[in-house]
Amino acid sequence: MLYQKQAFIVENKQIAPAVYKLKADIPGLAGHLKAGQFLHLRIGESYDPLLRRPFSVYKIENQKGNGRKLICIIYKVIGRGTKILSQKTKGELLNVLGPLGNGFDFIGTGLKNRPVFLVAGGMGVAPLFFLASMMIKKTKPDFKKNVIIFIGSPNRQELVLTKEFDELGFKIQLSTDDGSRGFKGYVCELLENYLKKKKVFPLRPYVYACGPNNMLKALDALAGKYRLDGQISVDKMMGCGVGACLGCVVKVKDNCNGQEAKYKRICKDGPVFKINEIIWED
Amino acid sequence: MNLTIRLNSNFKLKNPVTVASGTFGYAEEFKDFIDLNLLGAIFTKTITRFPKSGNPPPRLVETSSGMLNAIGLQNEGVEDFVKNKWPYLRKLGPKIIASISAINTEDFVYLARYLEDAGIEAVELNLSCPNVKYAVTCSRKKFIGNGNPIMFAQNAAATYNVIKAVRKKTDLFLITKLSPNVTDITAIARAAESAGTDALSLINTFFAMAIDIHTLRPKLANITGGLSGPAIKPLALRMVYEACRSVKIPVIGMGGIMNAADAVEFMLAGAKAVSIGTANFVNPHIAIDILYGIKKYLKEKRIDNINKIVGKIKLR
Ligand SMILES: Cc1cc2nc3c(=O)[nH]c(=O)nc-3n(C[C@H](O)[C@H](O)[C@H](O)COP(=O)(O)OP(=O)(O)OC[C@H]3O[C@@H](n4cnc5c(N)ncnc54)[C@H](O)[C@@H]3O)c2cc1C
Ligand SMILES: Cc1cc2nc3c(=O)[nH]c(=O)nc-3n(C[C@H](O)[C@H](O)[C@H](O)COP(=O)(O)O)c2cc1C
């Protein structure tokens, strides 16, 4: 079931130079959300910008005192829509569609004794944090031993949620493009260094990833080289968000009976796809 | 209050609010957001004879108060439609209008007959998709060299011929969808009428483009696309107005309708019904909001019958 609801903004706070955290009370929605699913937000009443904007849920938080569940997103201001969103204040309303998309498939026992890597680029940390929190709930404490969180970002200021991952007790490796913190370079280079050094690939590592398309493309290449298995969450300009307009497609390989590749919708068939399922076109 | 719209003696809509082809999928996508049974009619995404994979991405760009799309008629083909989508649609209350397209007359006829055999009552001939190449044999030379795809709806004779061919072979209620990318919409509208279409729908999207000034590349992989949304409403209204004055058959008006006032404008200009397109992406519940808004308008104006506003623009 999908819902259209009014979200009541409880907090909209800057947490890094261009990054904000928004908490909203959206009655009746929190219980239906899975890690990797997203909300489609109408930023304002105006027709310019016209379309909704998609954001992943990163956390569901219990509001102190009243037991209400708040839905949290983090977002980076990159254009007009996110700029307007960043100016919203407590008490304002946002029209929301959700939960949309199919989310990550937590394969549970399929991960037994395998190294698990969560690989995030930029705001891609958001859905992976939700996934990590859920893993904690669904697994025994020693499961964490096998998990490493790789987070990359342009610079140290925009490395967000590292403390939260730390608090959950995960091992973390960081990279920044400018070297201001952690490894200098891309997060996939950091991951490759780790794979080369540790030679864990006989243990069939499993990856959950989210980030810019270039990062996911690089990850697909690594996956081919090191026989990684896993899931990636893809970001693309989106229209309706519900599978009708066919605007946000990616080309995917069609495994069944050798048919030719076809276009699948990020919003409805994704945003999560299998590693090396996508044929990158742009 | 009477909201019933009679498009001809045996084809009527329970109200004038419909949803436009390609903006509402096959309706099921919207079932959680809206009571589909309240709609006047549902136009399906355009269906072709064989599956079509569509254009490469990016297929969609937002522009000032509008958007460009170059989907390229991605669909699973008519066989899949009848097998997998029609069973859901046929159980719904509103009239279901199957939008069809082809690059030649034979396939249009094939599609119409195939759908008629499946029990469909009405089709929309999409002669006006800006994002596919049509093989219009008639007067083709005239159009070569302008860089744009050639579409049936850009040529009166081509429009006439394809409608005539379908008309001869089926008893379906036929709606013909016209393009705004023409110098004289009335010439095309009249050609369609004389070929025997039962109604017209207009407008499809405007050829348009956008360029990324940093990469220097077009923002759409297809280079050009179709502009829709509130940005095109005044342009659409003018064309619907002119088309309505040039033919006797009913016209379904669309282009940038975002609210009830927009819808009433199209009806005052002469449209018997309206289609909601891009607005469905902004608010999946909007078609019903617009229906209620129209009712409210009629009540305020003490008008008991929706038909009394059709074409009632005062010119002096
Ligand atoms: C499923 C999904 C989940 C997402 N989750 C988050 C999240 O949790 N946090 C977050 O900060 N962002 C997230 N995004 C990206 C976010 O939706 C875009 O950053 C936002 O829509 C940009 O809107 P804008 O109006 O500010 O930018 P615009 O003014 O629309 O665009 C500015 C520039 O960014 C480009 N752009 C626009 N939309 C996107 C996009 N979706 N992806 C890449 N480039 C784009 C444009 O081409 C343009 O060059 C997600 C996207 C998807 C598809
Ligand atoms: C994403 C998208 C896909 C569309 N697909 C089709 C289509 O398959 N067939 C068709 O006849 N029109 C199609 N259209 C055109 C619409 O039906 C409508 O004519 C046009 O968008 C103008 O109305 P609007 O401004 O209210 O959207 C599409 C429009 C959009 C935005």
List pLDDT tens digits, range B32-89: 999 999 999 999 999 999 999 999 999 999 999 999 999 999 999 999 999 999 999 9
| Residue from the list B29, B33, B65 with its beta carbon closest to the beta carbon of A4 | B33
What pLDDT is attached to residue B222? Answer: 92
Active site residue B129: yes
Q: Do B56 and A282 count as a contact with CB atoms less than 8 A apart?
A: yes
Mean pLDDT, chain B, rounded, equals 93
Q: Is B300 or A144 the better-scoring residue by pLDDT?
A: B300
Q: Where are the domains of chain B?
A: 5-309
Q: Do B282 and A42 count as a contact with CB atoms less than 8 A apart?
A: yes
Catalytic site residue from B82, B129, B162, B247:
B129
Sign of CA dihedral B28, B31, B37, B42: negative
Residue B137 has pLDDT above 50, yes or no: no
Nearest C-alpha in A relative to B57: A249
Ligand lying closest to the C-alpha of residue A16 = 1
Architecture in CATH for domain B5-309: Alpha-Beta Barrel (3.20)
Spacing, Cα B247 to ligand 2 middle (Å) = 23
In chain A, residues with a C-beta closer than 8 Å to the C-beta of B223 are none
List pLDDT tens digits, range A254-282: 765 556 789 999 999 999 999 999 999 86
Q: pLDDT category, B134, cuts 50, 70, 90?
A: low
List pLDDT tens digits, range B235-292: 999 999 999 999 999 999 999 999 999 999 999 999 999 999 999 999 999 999 999 9
Ligand lying closest to the C-alpha of residue B178 = 2
Spacing, Cα B20 to ligand 2 middle (Å) = 6
- Pocket-forming residues, ligand 2, beta carbon under 6 Å: A 245, 247; B 20-23, 45-46, 69, 71, 73, 99, 126, 129, 177, 204-205, 228-229, 232, 254-257, 277-279
- Pocket-forming residues, ligand 1, beta carbon under 6 Å: A 38, 49, 53-56, 73-76, 78-82, 123, 126, 235-238, 266, 271; B 62
What pLDDT is attached to residue A260? Answer: 73
What pLDDT is attached to residue B140? Answer: 43
List pLDDT tens digits, range A197-211: 888 888 889 999 999
Residue A78 has pLDDT above 90, yes or no: yes
Residue A5 has pLDDT above 90, yes or no: yes
